Structure 1
Amino acid sequence: MPVFTIDVPEGAAPAAKHKMLHEITEALDEAYQIPDTRGWVREYPVENVSQDGRVGAEPVRPVCSLEAPELFRWDAKRKLVQKIESAIADAYQGIANTDEVLVLINEFPLHNVGWRASLQSDKPEIVAAVAKANG
């Protein structure tokens, strides 16, 4: 159920993006152990990005938005953020400001997520995976 979107400037090679998506998916699988992780890359021409009200004044600072179950272990969140930032930095080094990757984590309790015609809180395997992740 973890879903992520990465907003970055254009320019990374397809192989670099594929590697980044794979590494982020692995990091999410390690943290949550829930099937059906989905990820998207949204690329923008630099003239379509504003940072602090300025267009093109500095390299684009990537943003990763993560929608996922509640994860109460801060050590697991820190490790996850580090892996996400590292994967993005590897893919966009020299293209974006990879020292300033922003990772936004939006967490949902399982009763607020529908999946396979029911709530995730109704799925024993999902409840068990989240319990294990928060163990």
Structure 2
Amino acid sequence: MPVIHIDGPAGLPQSARQKLVREVTRAADEAYHVPDVRIWLRETPADGYAQDGELGARIRPVATLQVPELSSIDARRTLVGRVNAALADAYAGLADTENVIVFLDDYPLERVGWAGRLQSDVPEMVTLAERLAG
């Protein structure tokens, strides 16, 4: 159930897009072991981005991961490092890849609904959450 939004500049070639989503999916799969990883690529033209008040500044990619709680700081570090590396590789030459930001918005199961019910009411998800917390 990880939901991932990647914001970056327009113009990413199809092969780089495919490699990016493949690498980010692998990183999420290895961190969470949940097969339902959803990724949205959101492209912004240069005149649609500003940095410190400068319109058209070189875009700094951002990834926002809305994910289950992950208690291990080492697992979080690994996940952030892998997502950062995938973005830096994909956007090399198109964006400021020295300043990639990765946000982890993690949620307990009782704050996530799926198929009309809370994840905390799904026994398989409770087992997964216990494994991630261990």
TM-score bracket, normalised by the shorter chain, equals over 0.9
Provide the TM-score with structure 2 as the length reference.
0.95
Q: Which string of whole-angstrom CA distances, capped at 9 and with x for unpartnered residues, describes residues 49-108 of structure 1?
A: 011111124x21001011011111110000000000111111110000111100111111
Kindly report which structure 2 residues correspond to 1:1-135, keeping only aligned pairs within 5 A, or say none: 1-57=1-57, 59-135=58-134
Structure 2: segments with no counterpart, 5+ residues: none
The answer (yes or no) to whether the contact 1:7–1:62 under 8 Å persists in 2 is yes
- Secondary structure of the equivalent of 2:8? strand
Measured after TM superposition, the shift of residue 114 of structure 1 is 0.6
- How many residues of Structure 1 are paired with residues of Structure 2 in the alignment? 134
Measured after TM superposition, the shift of residue 133 of structure 1 is 2.1
Equivalent pairs: percent with the same residue?
47
Runs of 4+ in structure 1 over 2 Å off: none
The answer (yes or no) to whether the contact 1:2–1:69 under 8 Å persists in 2 is yes
Measured after TM superposition, the shift of residue 134 of structure 1 is 2.4
Distance 2:106 2:60 in 1: 23
Instruction: Return the letter of the residue paired with 1:7.
Output: D
Distance 2:87 2:55 in 1: 22
Measured after TM superposition, the shift of residue 130 of structure 1 is 2.0
Measured after TM superposition, the shift of residue 25 of structure 1 is 0.8
The answer (yes or no) to whether the contact 2:8–2:61 under 8 Å persists in 1 is yes
- Secondary structure of the equivalent of 1:16? helix
- Secondary structure of the equivalent of 2:71? coil
Structure 1: segments with no counterpart, 5+ residues: none
